[in-house]
Structure 1
């Protein structure tokens, strides 16, 4: 099996790891190139690069033998509309659950303990004792929308802060509510965390109606994809200062410099970096290698993407 692995520095660890699999021939490629050479065109598997994974989409048409695309991300939305249905599309679900769940906790605590305001006071050398209204996570009810690896990782960390969690997913199961129950749950929680994939069913899920159902001073945390939130509706709600938000992703992305979301009250924004900690690329490639090994053994990869977007 010939596998295309990016030649960029972040992907060196992946080339080393995959080359240890029996029956695998690792071929490096430049994800910024417009054309593949003959050796690269013979690949069976394409792995998009760790950074800027959407860049090689244009190379799909140059891979006549391609049967499998292995992503290094949990989200598959950038690729699902371009990879033909007869070819395998597999994600790296579970690889970054730890780093992303840490980001979720840090974002909630930053808002509750008023770190953005305190940092601004520090910039002016102001001793802001009793000038901010800090809060505690203890006793709060947290609604996690998306019960995959990241959602469960967030849920496992909440008891350490004496917070209570409720999980919602695309289908009901033990300990997880179904999507039909979501509207009734929104107003009963202090924090809503989004850790679900972007699909046709979830695009624009957090719309004007969803936001209006949130109780006053709810914190909305998006660690999934920007398109799950109606940005215009969120900006309007933030302007009322009724709710707050922590966003690692936005729609559009990158967020234009003049976008009103930047200056909306009660929001903190990070530039799609919740998974980015030392060693994250190795974690992603470890999951990728596991999935490819399953495929080599004649099994269906456990992280296969079944729901495809259309473009």
Structure 2
């Protein structure tokens, strides 16, 4: 990345967190910054036209996050606190750096992915229901040990998921990403190899970003190639899965699913996914754990420090490098 000029006039930095709560932020007076706190409230903390560095409020929805952007005529950086940027990418003006939150969500999302796998395989939802019904539902249940796992989307979150699978004695962990490469753990296969790899996997974990290429990728053909009894886990984005096709597969009993994200989302009352057999649903909580805030604060401090010093930013996914 190329460095860019240090701001010559006070630069407004909009943060969703009180700067007093963020260690290692640059001193505002020393670096010509003005910190303004905005976490999606109706009233803006200042004139959006003066904002040069905008940290998007977390989990407030795209409508809230994007509301001030059209008025941010001095905008130079948009920093999300999400791993995916699909909700905001198209609204960020040309020439503005868009940075994601790589490094913030890996631990938490990987934890939930493993939780969903283990809970689904070991029948935890059934045990919870049995406890409510005062029923002792003993028996044999599938284990993760000796299973073949396929991770679809092998970025930083996919790698973190594999880190947590390692102690569980899986028979095999296969990795798929947009393009093939080699890692310390082994080969990462290209998406073009999915038809073959899907037939070999007992557990398929989705952790890819939502893009034009991945939207609807998990369709009837994708699901149809999965083994009978296989488990689909989605900690990516809801629209990567064709909900109608998934309902057909779990409804027939051929596949199982564990979903932290859905399409539509939030899942409305009365939607058939709520009561689909063999399906475990969590309400998009992969990243929203106690691990989030400390990592988000460190990311903000680092990025604002780089901005104030005229240094290249981390995690740039769109705009000038």
TM norm. shorter chain > 0.5: yes
1:110 aligns with 2:119: yes
1:5 aligns with 2:15: yes
| Contact preservation (8 Å) 2:107, 2:291 | no
For residue 285 of structure 1, the aligned residue among 274, 284, 297 is: 297
* Alignment partner, residue 16 of structure 1: 22
| Contact preservation (8 Å) 1:36, 1:59 | no
Superposed displacement of residue 32, structure 1: 3.0
TM-score, normalised relative to structure 2: 0.88
Superposed displacement of residue 35, structure 1: 5.3
Superposed displacement of residue 49, structure 1: 1.3
Specify whether residues 227 and 191 from structure 1 end up closer, same or farther in structure 2 by C-alpha distance, changes over 3 A only: same
1:211 aligns with 2:223: yes
1:155-204, Cα deviation, whole Å (9 max, x unpaired): 11112000121111111111211121122211111111111100111100
1:213-235, Cα deviation, whole Å (9 max, x unpaired): 00011110100100100111111
Superposed displacement of residue 277, structure 1: 1.8
Specify whether residues 13 and 50 from structure 1 end up closer, same or farther in structure 2 by C-alpha distance, changes over 3 A only: farther
Q: Please, what is the CA RMSD of the aligned residues?
A: 1.9
Unaligned runs of 5+ in 2: 1-10
| Contact preservation (8 Å) 1:14, 1:282 | no
Distance across 2 between alignment mates of 1:13 and 1:153: 29
For residue 134 of structure 1, the aligned residue among 137, 141, 158 is: 141
Distance across 2 between alignment mates of 1:219 and 1:14: 45
Distance across 1 between alignment mates of 2:91 and 2:302: 24
| Contact preservation (8 Å) 2:49, 2:71 | yes
| Contact preservation (8 Å) 2:260, 2:284 | yes
1:204-263, Cα deviation, whole Å (9 max, x unpaired): 010010000000111101001001001111111111110101100001000011111111
Higher RCO (CA-CA < 8 Å; seq separation 6+): 2
1:67-118, Cα deviation, whole Å (9 max, x unpaired): 1100001010010111123111100012111111111111111111111111
Look up the SS of the partner of 1:305 in the other structure.
strand
| Alignment length (residue pairs) | 300
* Alignment partner, residue 98 of structure 1: 107
Superposed displacement of residue 285, structure 1: 2.7
| Contact preservation (8 Å) 1:5, 1:14 | no
For residue 87 of structure 1, the aligned residue among 64, 73, 96 is: 96
Distance across 2 between alignment mates of 1:300 and 1:196: 26
For residue 70 of structure 1, the aligned residue among 54, 79, 82 is: 79
TM-score, normalised relative to structure 1: 0.90
Look up the SS of the partner of 1:165 in the other structure.
strand
Segment of structure 1 superposing worse, 244-253 or 81-90 = 81-90
